[in-house]
Structure 1
Amino acid sequence: MDALYYSYTRQHLTAVMDKVGQDRAPILITRQKGEPVVMMSLDDYNALEETAYLLRSPKNAKRLAKSIESLRAGRGVVRELLNED
């Protein structure tokens, strides 16, 4: 993860925000008198929140892990998508 100083980020805010959005990679912003923060795209944040929500339930987390294991073992099933007419 790239890291930038707060003062640089403030001076180049638009460019930094564009980079975060285009690269789809978060940036760590450091400060002299405060905790560092992370800037990330809204899409990445929403995906992170959704993942956290899905894994919050131990039962659901176990079911998802089992499904991922099945896919990695080659036991996935390819299906045709239905038309949404």
Structure 2
Amino acid sequence: MKVVNYTEFRNNLAESLNSVNDDGDIVVVARSKGKNVVVMSLEEYNSIQETIYLNSTPANRARLELALARIETTKPLQKKLINK
């Protein structure tokens, strides 16, 4: 995570946005006369939103945890490929 002030962000806008998109960085823009803001890629934002949604109900969270536990304790199934 990178923290920059508003002036630095404005003066280096393209570089900051490229860093967010290309390197997956999150940039916090510190503002002296307002609340700070976070700049992140749309991909990162969507990922966070999906995680929040998937964990939004106790029942769904329990199903996800059970599925993960099964994956960790079950030996993977191996099958031979069919040659045609």
Q: What is the TM-score when the length of structure 1 is the normalising length? A: 0.79
Between Structure 1 and Structure 2, the one with more strand by share is 1
* Higher mean displacement: 26-35 or 62-71: 62-71
Moved beyond 4 Å, runs of 4+: none
**Correspondence list, 1:18-57, <5 A:** 18-57=18-57
Structure having the higher Rg: 2
Counterpart residue type for residue 26 of structure 2: P
Q: CA 1:24–1:74 in structure 2 vs 1: closer, same or farther (change >3 Å)?
A: farther
**In structure 2, what is the equivalent of residue 67 of structure 1?**
67
Q: Which residue of structure 2 lines up, in the alignment, with residue 83 of structure 1?
A: none
Could you tell me how far 1:70 is from its partner in structure 2?
A: 3.3
Query: What TM-score do the two structures reach when normalised by structure 2?
Result: 0.79
User: How many aligned residue pairs are there?
Assistant: 79
Distance 1:28 1:43 in 2: 17
Give the letter aligned to residue 75 of structure 1.
T
